[in-house]
Structure 1
Amino acid sequence: MRVNIAMNQFLDEAQQQRRCAVMPTRAVRQALLRRVRTGEIVSPMRGLYARASYWKSLDTVERNRHVVRAKSRQHPEWVFGGLEAVCMHGLDHDYALHSSNLTVLSPTHAQAKPVHGITHICMPNCNYAVIDGVKVLPLAQTVAMGLRSFDFVNGMQIANCALRHGLTKQEIGDCMSRLGNCGASAWRVLEYGSDRCENGGESRAYGVMLDEGVAPPLLQ
């Protein structure tokens, strides 16, 4: 009974803090694992837990944020990049881009393959912003990394959202130059990106038209 009370308190605290439960005691962990087997509890990543009913109520972005907040609590020194930074900054993107892996930036080393769902990317002298207590790549660098990583249409969604919220093309371009290895598609997004697209859907449609060779529409 005491273990059940402790487990529920553990899960309640995590929900209140909008994260997955992490770092349980041994007794609580065993209780959680039993309930994972029955489907009452989900474990979206090794060592992370949430009530199945609560987890089902979250969309893809909020699930990602819950995992990131939990991993940040476990590893406060980590700086998140990739889609994790995109989500924490609230940038529009296609949910289909998500996988079960997280991107963490490291000043000293990189990994060719994810280990326990974590991909480490080497980025010396990495700056960071703090959002909800989580260290993430600053906004302009997040966009630059997104344009380098994703195709034209997906990059357009991310860039237009950032432009709509006040980021400038100059800031993005400077970060792209420092980041390096940004292909023609990334620079084309920067050329045609617009703060006039009202949402991610409009940005995606705009990007698809351009990608298919249609003359750029006049945005209101």
Structure 2
Amino acid sequence: MERVSDAEIVLVRELRDRTETRQQHARAALNGTEVRVAHGAYVGRAEWEGRDARERHLLRMVAYSRTRKRPPLFSHWSAAVAHCLPLIGPVPDRLHVSIGRTSGGRSAGAVAAHSTAIPDTDVVDIDGLRVTSLARTVVDVASMSTMADAVTIADCALRLGLPKTCVMDAWERAVPLRGHRRALDVIDFADARSESPLESLSRVSMYRMGVAQPDLQLPFRDRRGLIGYVDFAWPSLGIVGEADGDAKYLDATMRNGRSADRVVLDEKIREDRLRALGLRVVRWRWEVASRPRELASLLFAAGVPPRAPDDCGAALQLR
């Protein structure tokens, strides 16, 4: 698939052929042979259908940028998409842009405008688009999003190598910012060791329900050597937790050349080795992680205790 920025986008303001009119493209959008991706911008139906939700959002960002007199600054969830950050929920329908505080937010239709001052140091170029930096994107989403989405994005940004100090610097430049305390709590809670959106969601659900804080990505060994790194561990209790996402079994890029059946067998062998050490292994999937009470009940039943009142900053606003 070609880059989104290379897609053939028709801008009606640039039409030179007198036989090609705005009305023709509008009719093509109505009959389904074209798709309107921004005011005065169209792409062919095949171009649109060949893209996934993230690519479609990026395509609309490119089209919107090309139809503006001045390049817009994409922020919040649009910036998260541009930075390839994971989202717990669906890709947003609306584009998100930031404008100066003196301009006032003018959200309309397919575009949400945020009245926020963004210094140049927090602006980057991604494939020709002006986008808030990775650190500023974490701050903006954390100030407004659900905790599950915010922590997922923050964990991923840190895992990509972004120092938490850089996020804190961006937070300080953003203040005063509506939701700044909420954003700070997300930054405090974020952990680069959380390796997937499912693990991030699980951590948030555990914290909300008062589950004792686990260690992350703890290695276990036996006489044969390294068994592996477990997602969650309460080593003093002899309990480990594994969050099982479908990608582990279905995504070829994560199977390292193994078949899905081989992955299942390897996981069984790995779990047997962990149990042979005297560990209790608790597994759960997306459906359980997304229901905090159910996940907490599963862990409490396995012997994980409630969190101590002073453990991991009891005042975090992870709600």
Question: Which residue in the other structure is 1:93 paired with?
Answer: 87
User: Residue 122 of structure 1: which of 98, 115, 118 is its match?
Assistant: 115
Q: Secondary structure at the match of 1:195?
A: coil
Name the CA distance, whole Å, in 1 between partners of 2:210 and 2:83.
31
Report the Cα distance in structure 1 between the residues aligned to 2:213 and 2:9, rounded to whole angstroms: 43
Contact 1:82 1:103 in 2 (8 A): yes
**Range that drifts further, 167-176 or 94-103:** 94-103
Give the Cα–Cα distance (whole angstroms) in 2 for the partners of residues 95 and 20 of structure 1. Answer: 28
Q: Is the 8 A contact 1:107 1:126 kept in 2?
A: no
The alpha-carbon distance between structure 1 residues 184 and 104, as it changes in their structure 2 partners (threshold 3 A), is closer
1:162, distance to aligned residue in structure 2 (A):
0.5
Contact 1:81 1:105 in 2 (8 A): no
1:74 alignment counterpart = 67
- In structure 2, the CA distance between the partners of 1:37 and 1:154, relative to structure 1 (3 Å rule), is same
1:154, distance to aligned residue in structure 2 (A): 1.0
Change (3 A) 1:118 1:126: farther
Could you tell me how far 1:197 is from its partner in structure 2?
1.8
**1: distance between equivalents of 2:132 and 2:113?**
14
Partner of residue 143, structure 2: 148
Match of residue 163 from structure 2: 168
Shift of 1:45: 3.3
Secondary structure of residue in 1 paired with 2:104: coil
The equivalent position to 2:24 in structure 1, one of 27, 31, 50, is 31
- The runs of at least 4 consecutive aligned structure 1 residues that moved more than 4 Å come to 13-16
Matched, 1:213 2:207: no
Aligned equivalents of 2:29 and 2:89: distance in 1? Answer: 25
Q: TM-score, normalised by structure 1?
A: 0.81
- Post-superposition offset of 1:178: 2.6
Match of 2:48 among 52, 55, 70: 55
CA offsets per residue over residues 196-216 of structure 1, 9 Å max, x none? Answer: 122223222222222332223
Verify: 1:189 aligned to 2:186, yes or no: yes
Give the CA deviation at 1:94: 2.6
User: Root-mean-square deviation (CA), in Å?
Assistant: 2.6
Residue 103 of structure 2 is aligned to residue 109 of structure 1:
yes
Contact kept in structure 2, 1:106 and 1:120, CA below 8 Å: no
Distance 1:172 1:213, change over 3 A: same
**2-side partners of 1:202 and 1:18: how far apart?**
35
The size of the alignment, in residue pairs, is 207
Residues 140 and 167 in structure 1, CA contact (< 8 A), matched pair in contact too = yes
Confirm or deny: 8 A CA contact 1:79 1:104 kept in the other structure.
yes
Contact persistence 1:81–1:142 (CA under 8 A): yes
1:141-194 alpha-carbon deviations (Å, 9 max, x no partner):
111111111121111011011001111222112222332233543222222211
Letter paired with 1:69: V
* Conserved? CA contact 1:55–1:63, under 8 Å: yes
Contact 1:159 1:189 in 2 (8 A): yes
Higher RCO (Cα < 8 Å, 6 or more apart): 1
8 Å contact from structure 2 (residues 139, 170) kept in 1: yes
Q: Which has the higher strand share?
A: 2
Which segments of 5 or more consecutive residues in structure 2 lack a partner in the other structure? 218-319
- Scaled by the length of structure 2, the TM-score of the pair is 0.58
